[in-house]
Structure 1
Amino acid sequence: MKVIMPLLALLLFLSGCQDHSPSNDLVMAAENNRIQVSFDRLEEAEWEGNKGFYIYVTASSLLDTYKAEDDFLFALNSTITDDNSEVYQALFSETIANDENSVTIKQFYSPFPGHSLDSLDITVYAKPTYYKRKVIFQDLEKEMSNQIMNDLFLETVSVQGNEIQLQIFDIHDLHGLTVSLLQDNEEIYPAFSRTSYDPNQNFLTASYEFTNKVPDRFTLVFKRLKLQEQIWEFPLTIPIKQN
C-alpha cells in the first residue's frame, strides 16, 4: 500500500480525532465520526533479511453506510522517529479485511527499537474514497432539517411555492455547486438563484426559484464542481513492550 501524506483539516460534522488513553502516556485508539482506529500489537520480526517489527492497527467504520474495506484506504507513517532520534523505515505494508466494517493494517519497520524505549509515536492515515461529484437527495419535504448524503449536509430545507431555500454545508468546496430539481428523470434547473457564501465555514445559504410550483415531495440533485482530496490523521502513542 502506498503511504498517504496528510492534507486535511476536518470540518465540523467530521469532528477532530479523539483519543482514548489507558494511561497518561499511551494513546491506544482514536476516532472521528466515521472511523475508529486502535492499536493491536507490536511484534518483533524479520522481513526479507531485515530485522525489525510489525505494527498491527485495526480500523473500523462507525457507520453502516460506509465499509472499512471498500470505502477507505489506510496506511501508517513511512518513517517513525523515536525520542532518541532513531529512524525506523517502513519496508512493507498491507491491509487485511476482517469483515466489511473492519480491517487490520500491518506494517513492517526496521530496525527494532532499543531496550531503553517504552513507546513510539505513530500516525494512522485514512483516505475516504466514497465521495462523488453528484449527490442526490430523495423524498425531501417542504420543511426539513439535518439531511446528510455523501457528507454533504443540508442544515435546513424550506419551500414556499416555486422557491426552495437551503442552508448547505459540505466537506468539499461549495464554489461552483449546482442544484437541480429531478422530475420524471429530467433535471430542471432554477430560473433564478440567490446565494450567500461564508468561506470561513464553507457554508452556503441559497434560494432557488423554479418556473413551476415545487411538489410536496421532491428530489434535488447537487453537483460539486470538484472534489478535494481528504486524508484524516489519527495519532497514537503505542507501547513497545507487550504485557
Structure 2
Amino acid sequence: MKILVPVKRVLDYNVKVRVKADQSGVDLANVKMSMNPFDEIAVEEAVRLKEKGIATEIVAVSIGPAQAKDTIITALTIGADRGILIQTDQDIEPLAVAKLLKAVAEAEQPDLIIMGKQAIDGDNNATGQMLSTLLDWPQATFASKVVVENGEAHVTREVDGGLQTLGVKLPAVITTDLRLNEPRYASLPNIMKAKKKPLEIKAITDYAVDVVPRLKVLKVTEPPKRTAGIKVADAAELVANLKSAGVL
C-alpha cells in the first residue's frame, strides 16, 4: 500500500508572528520555519502504518519555495521513502493546493492520503476536504485514531457528543488531529539516511492546473491587545460589573 503525505513549510509555532510594516502580510524574513505540526503527525502515522507492515511506500509532497526542500527532508528523516517538491514562490491558495495534490495523486496512484487537518499559518482547514471532493474519494477528518485493515480505514474522530468512528473504503483521504500521535525525534542515523533518499523537484507548469489566485488580501493586522482583568470582592459585584458592561 502506498501512502501520500502532503507537508507544508510554515512559520515555526514557537516564533512570535510579526506583521509587515505595509500590512501586506506576515513577515517571514530571518525567522525559523518548520513543518506544519499537523502534517508532522500525518507523516508519523504513515510511518507507523509502514512499521506494522500495512504500508509499503510513503511519498511526501510539498508545494512551496526552494527552502521547502528542508521540510521534505524532515519527512524523509521521520521515515518517508521519497519526496516530491512542487517548487514555486507564489502563495498558493487551498483550492489550488488541492488541485495540484489531485494531479500528484493521479500520477502516484496512492491507496491512502494522510494529511494535516489544517496549516497553522492560513488556518483554513479546507484542503483535505477539497482534495477528497476533486478525487471523488471518501474522507475522514480530524482523526484521533486510525486502523487500516481489509482495504478499509476505521477512523475515530472527536465530535461534540464524544467519539465517532467512521469506516471508509480505500483509496481515501484522512486528515489528522493533534491527539492522533506524538511524532518521533529525528535521530542522527535517520538524518544521514534522509539525505540519500530520492527527492524530485517539479514545477507548477508540469501540471495542467489552474492556480490563479481567487482571493485578495486587503490588509493584515495584529489582533488587539487584551485589556487587563479586574478582581471583584464577591458575586454581587461581578453581576453589577457585567450589567454595567452590557453583558447581562
Q: Same fold (TM over 0.5)?
A: no
Q: What is the TM-score normalised by the length of structure 1?
A: 0.22
Larger Rg: 1
More helix as a share of residues: 2
